[in-house]
Amino acid sequence: MNKKYIVRLTSEEREHLEEFVSTGRRAAYKIKHANILLKADADGPGWSDEGIAQAFSVHEHTLRNVRQRFVERGMDAAIEQKKQDAPSRKPILDGEKQAHLLAMACSQPPPGHARRTLQLLAQEMVRLEVVERISYETVRRALKKTS
């Protein structure tokens, strides 16, 4: 298979990666990505994709992605994990809904209750149609953020 992205490390980059790998005080995936770059270097060992995948227990797609990030965005981007472009789902509570929740939490509890529980707050948010549905755990996290 023809490789679209060829890794060519300079001597400084190679030294940096070898030091990076040898210290061992990094996240395992970062060390693995650094090793991938070292072995995929066309001017160095130039291992095959199959050999690298087998040696480091990664899929060939991971190899391709690391090489692509190195060629397009540099060494730091290749070593790091790809950042998510957008959240996979929208947050349940935006700023306005969080403010509504906080106002409810600070208000008087409903009759028959000594205080507002997380479950009561969640039920009240749904009853007032502020949100379609919400768990008490989401309420807890939102209130914890606001102290």
Domain that holds residue 41: 11-79
110 and 75 in a common domain: no
Q: Is the pLDDT of residue 138 over 70?
A: yes
> How many C-beta neighbours within 10 Å does residue 7 have?
24
The rounded distance, in Å, linking the Cα atoms of 20 and 95 is 42
How many folded domains does the chain comprise? 2
Find the angle CA(67)-CA(73)-CA(30) to the nearest 5 degrees.
60
Tokens of 104: 């409810």
pLDDT, one tens digit per residue, over 66-83 is 999 999 999 888 898 877
> 73 with 124, same domain?
no
pTM for the whole structure:
0.61
Q: Both 16 and 74 in a single domain?
A: yes
* Structural contact between residues 65 and 33, judged by C-beta atoms closer than 8 angstroms: no
Q: What confidence score (pLDDT) does residue 127 get?
A: 94
Say whether 33 sits in a helix, a strand or coil: helix
Q: Within this chain, do residues 29 and 66 fall inside the same structural domain, yes or no?
A: yes
